[in-house]
Copies of this chain bind each other. A is one copy, B any other.
C-alpha cells in the first residue's frame, strides 16, 4: 500500500529512537518504526513488559548511548517526570510523549522551570480497547490522526523530527495547541462518549417490548456506550476541565429543551406555549449545522451521498453477490451499512454512493432482480 512506502521513506530519515514505556501504544510505536526500518530501543519499569515487546519485534533493549528522539509512552500522571528525566539524560535528543491529554502535562513541565525547546507533546489517536505490549500492532496508527502540540518554546527542528516519527508509523499528522487539542478531543470524543452513556442508561429499565422498538438511530447513538468504565474514568479525569466546558454548554441547551417540552405538555390544559416550538427547531437545526462539519470520506460531508436500500436475504454470499454486481456496474461504494430488523430472514443493505450514481445504480440493480427499498 502507498502509505507503507511513505512510512518507510520517513523511517529512513529517522535517527535512533528510544521508547520509554512498552504498553499498547509504546510497543506499537516500536513495532511500526522497526517494521518501517528504523533503529528502535526499548525501556520500561517492568522487565517482563520490555522483554515481551522486544520478543514481539518492537525493538532492542540495549540502546545507543545517544538516541536522536525519545518517545515517552506513559499515562498522564507519570509522563511529565519521564519527559524531564529524558531531557536531562540525553541533552541533544528531541523528546515527545503520547498521552491523550496535553494541557496538564505541559503545565507540569513548565512548572519544572527547565528549557523545553526539545520537547514537543503529541497524541496518536489510535485504538485502546486492549492494553499491554501483548496487544500491540504494527498497524495501530496506520491512517489514524497523530496530533502534534508544539508549545511556544518548541524548536521547529524538534517539531519536524516528531512529525517524521509519526509519519513513519503511517499516521496522518495534524498540529494543534495543547488547549485546542484538549478542547477538540472533548468535543469529538469525550462528550460523545458521555452522551452515548447517558442515553443508553435510560434504556436499562425499559420493558422487553419497549426496548424491542429500538431502531438503527438509537443503536448508532449508543454504540460506544459499551466502552470500559475504568478506562473512560481515566480519560475523562485527565481532560476534566475541557469536557466540563463542553458539557456545560450542552446542559444549557438541554435545560432549554426541557422547559420548552414542559410548556408544550401543559399547552393543551392551560394556554399556548409561545416560542417553545422555535426552541426545539433551533436545537435540531444547530445539530444539523454541527453534523455538517464532520468530514466524510474524500472530504465531502456525509449528506453529499445518496443511499440506495436493497433487500438482502440472510444467508452467506447474498451480500457479496450484491456488492459484486455493484462493482460490475462500475459504481464505487462510499459507505455500506447492513440493517437487520426484528430477526426476519432478510436485511436491508444501505449502499451510500455519490448522488449521480444512485439513480442508475437503483435501476441497474432492479434490472438484475434485486428488490430496492424506498
Contacts and interface: CB of A to CB of B under 8 A. Distances in A.
Interface of A: 1-3, 104, 125, 127, 137, 139-140, 142-145, 147, 172, 174-176, 180, 183-185, 187-189, 191-204, 206-207, 209-215, 217-230, 232-233, 236-237, 240-241, 243-244, 246-251, 253-255, 257-258, 261-262, 264-265, 267-268, 276-277, 280-295, 297-299, 302-303, 311, 313-317, 319-324, 326-328, 330-338, 340-348, 371, 373-374
Given A1-B311, A174-B212, 7 more contacts: A3-B344, A172-B342, A194-B283, A196-B221, A198-B253, A251-B251, A316-B331
Looking at A104, A199, A244, which has the most chain B CB atoms within 10 Å of its CB?
A199
Looking at A207, A261, A281, A345, which has the most chain B CB atoms within 10 Å of its CB?
A261
A257 B221 CA distance: 19
A347 to B, nearest CB: 8
Contact of A250 (B176, B198, B222, B332): B198
A208 to B, nearest CB: 8
Contact of A341 (B140, B143, B210, B333): B143
B192 A217 contact: yes
Contacts of A145: 212-213, 342
Contacts of A290: 199-204, 222, 225
B336 A338 contact: yes
Nearest to A328: B317
Nearest to A315: B332
A293 to B, nearest CB: 5
Contact of A202 (B191, B201, B335, B347): B191
24 contacts: A1-B311, A137-B373, A145-B342, A174-B209, A176-B209, A188-B210, A191-B199, A191-B202, A193-B217, A194-B257, A197-B283, A203-B291, A203-B293, A220-B221, A222-B294, A229-B285, A232-B280, A232-B281, A240-B262, A244-B258, A250-B254, A251-B251, A316-B327, A319-B336
B316 A229 contact: no
Given A176-B210, A332-B316, A342-B145, A247 B257 contact: yes
A213 B344 contact: no
Given A206-B184, A213-B188, A261 B287 contact: no
A324 B317 contact: yes
B200 A184 contact: no
Contact of A319 (B183, B213, B333, B374): B333
Nearest to A248: B258
Given A189-B218, A220-B223, A297 B340 contact: yes
Contacts of A327: 316-317, 320
A331 to B, nearest CB: 7
A287 B2 contact: no
Contact of A175 (B191, B209, B280): B209
Contacts of A226: 288, 291-292, 302-303
Contacts of A277: 233, 237
A326 B297 CA distance: 25
Contacts of A211: 184, 188, 293-295
A233 B333 contact: no
Q: Shortest 7 CB-CB distances between A and B: which pairs? A: A197-B287, A317-B327, A320-B323, A184-B210, A200-B290, A201-B286, A203-B290
